[in-house]
Chain A
């Protein structure tokens, strides 16, 4: 669903002004265990987050999506098989895909075309990457529950194509303003097919590991060897959700806790963004079908 322009509400008496944020600005990701604020710049980077259900991955995604929504130069492209985690942002997103893997593949192909075109443009400019002065939109591609698209829904060919396209975006998208933020519950590489192929997982520069059940799961997110050095998400208390290990600039994982936004806060923020961006939010949502979905049809095949 693409948003359409809408005239400013009459009688409001004021002109909406954006916050002036940019995706090239540092993003507030919470606090570390020493009480210091955590700011990381996601421009030219990609982020992978993983952890057991309820560990706080979506809190981090919400914090990043909030910054992206408020940023003047950012466009949200959301993939959410569960529909509710990133669903509040669909009204201000350029594209939103739920559990329809065919639509997800089409969208990834479009992004890949944008990527190729931007590199051609950069080549003509004799440059290697875009900057904030280029006035080009930065696409924040957020995928919640990556496993849904790589192992659950669709045929094997579709799942492989999704993984290949996403890998291409992660590998080549940084310099031309396509940032990929992916979340998964179980980043195991031993499954067949793997939920996140190692070739895709290793391309993420930033990693955030929330509560995991084993040291191996933590190492699969952060990278091999960190658990043996004392940095393991398995040591995070299950009674303290929202705490994770962030591996970003600095090269060492450290404990942090992303900011939490309540549902009313999220909707107030989306209201503001929709107002400033002038998007049409009168979308019609189709109720879930009573017949078995595509995923069930695949299993029955």
Chain B
């Protein structure tokens, strides 16, 4: 394969990598331009009015243009880089961890030789993973990081978002006994019910057993709380504290006294005759012999309510 074809393929592959969605990028550029004028023009006018009190009008106008341009470009820059800031926020734990490792390695390498610096860093970082107590806590926090990404994947996968394509902002996450709890800020166009209808899909996306979504604030409907559940903590027997409240020196009560002996505890001790009743024999008519009295059970074999309703569920 020729070099030009290989390089063109490489360029094509690298051109396909988009950190920011193209639609979002266009929207952000448009908003940054609007912000430049919306902020720059009023600041220019205000600055020119203030400066006009101290200098010539034309000079004041020129100074106002300079001040307005600086202010407008600053705000436009913030609006323009916001998607990048958001990506950095999403990857903030990993970026921080990586930067800390690199910095630590650099500082260690200045004191001890390179291989030993790496070994020392590995012991410091990997040591806590060997202790069960710290390993559990570290894994819990690791799942918090993973869950934030999995939620973002879910939102990208099936949330419509708003017209600009911006999806909910994932805030912080912390471990809980059953999994993780993640706070999310919704954008206009989304609501709590939209996400409550998707909890099963979110659970699949987050590799969890169950996900519930609740309002996290009485003041802001946009602030939601996701409870990602991976473990069942209600398998233990819960003890009642009232047992420990009472002292153990109460005199015992006499046992219940039953009038007579309680017998017939088994089916074989209850003959059919004891639960059946017969109707009176009808007198003979027209010389025909009287029909034998039919023996019918005192009740239907199947439990039936007054109106014939099947009440067997609760007997």
Q: Which residues of A does B touch, CB under 8 Å?
A: 9, 12, 14, 16, 19, 21, 28, 30-31, 33-35, 53, 63, 66-67, 70, 91, 145, 147-148, 151-152, 155-156, 159, 184-186, 191-193, 195, 228-231, 235, 237, 240, 242-243, 252, 255-261, 265, 267-272, 274-276, 281-287, 290, 292, 296, 298-300
Contacts and interface: CB of A to CB of B under 8 A. Distances in A.
B264 interface: yes
A270 B199 CA distance: 45
B250 A16 contact: yes
Nearest to B242: A66
A269 B250 CA distance: 9
Contacts of B240: 28, 63, 66, 259-261, 265
Interface string B224-239: 0000010011111111
Contacts of B236: 257
Interface of B: 176-178, 196-197, 199-200, 210-214, 229, 232-243, 245-254, 256-262, 264, 274-275, 298-300, 304-307, 309, 311, 313-315
Given A9-B251, A28-B241, A290-B264, 17 more contacts: A33-B229, A33-B232, A91-B253, A147-B311, A186-B314, A195-B314, A230-B199, A231-B212, A260-B239, A265-B243, A267-B253, A272-B250, A281-B254, A282-B254, A282-B257, A286-B259, A296-B299
A163 B229 CA distance: 40
B314 A268 contact: no
Contact of A290 (B177, B213, B232, B274): B274
A255 B300 CA distance: 41
B190 to A, nearest CB: 16
Contacts of A243: 234
A271 B177 contact: no
29 contacts: A14-B249, A31-B234, A34-B177, A35-B233, A70-B242, A159-B306, A184-B314, A185-B313, A185-B314, A191-B309, A231-B212, A235-B210, A257-B238, A258-B238, A259-B239, A268-B248, A269-B246, A271-B250, A271-B251, A272-B247, A275-B251, A281-B254, A283-B256, A285-B256, A285-B257, A286-B258, A287-B258, A296-B298, A299-B305
A259 B178 CA distance: 20
> Interface majority SS on A: helix, strand, loop or mixed?
mixed
Contacts of B241: 28, 259
Nearest to B309: A191
A260 B238 contact: yes
Contacts of B299: 292, 296, 299-300
B311 A271 contact: no
Nearest to A184: B314
Contacts of B307: 156, 192-193
The 4 closest A-B pairs by CB, nearest first: A259-B240, A272-B250, A296-B299, A272-B246
A271 B197 CA distance: 51
Contact of A19 (B177, B196, B233, B245): B245
A31 B307 CA distance: 42
A151 B251 contact: no
A192 B309 contact: yes
Nearest to B236: A257
Contacts of A284: 257-259
Given A257-B238, A268-B246, A282-B257, A35 B177 contact: yes
Contacts of B235: 240
Contact of A70 (B246, B300, B306, B314): B246
Contact of A271 (B213, B214, B252, B313): B252
Given A70-B245, A290-B274, A260 B262 contact: no
B177 A152 contact: no
B263 to A, nearest CB: 9
B315 to A, nearest CB: 7
Contact of A275 (B250, B254, B275): B250
Given A299-B299, A299-B304, A186 B313 contact: yes
Contacts of A147: 311, 314
A7 to B, nearest CB: 12
Contact of A230 (B212, B261, B314): B212
A12 B242 contact: no
Nearest to B254: A282
A238 to B, nearest CB: 13
A276 to B, nearest CB: 8
Contacts of A229: 196, 199
Contacts of B233: 33-35
Given A287-B259, A292-B298, A299-B304, A34 B246 contact: no
A73 B197 CA distance: 46
A274 B253 contact: yes
A9 B251 CA distance: 8
Contact of B305 (A151, A186, A282, A283): A151
A258 B234 CA distance: 10
Contacts of A193: 307, 309
Contacts of B211: 230
A203 B241 CA distance: 30
Contacts of A67: 242
B106 to A, nearest CB: 41
Nearest to B233: A33
A101 to B, nearest CB: 12
A34 B253 CA distance: 39
A265 to B, nearest CB: 5
Given A148-B314, A269-B242, A292-B298, A33 B251 contact: no
Given A271-B253, A272-B247, A285-B257, A30 B314 contact: no
Contacts of A282: 254, 257
A171 B237 CA distance: 35
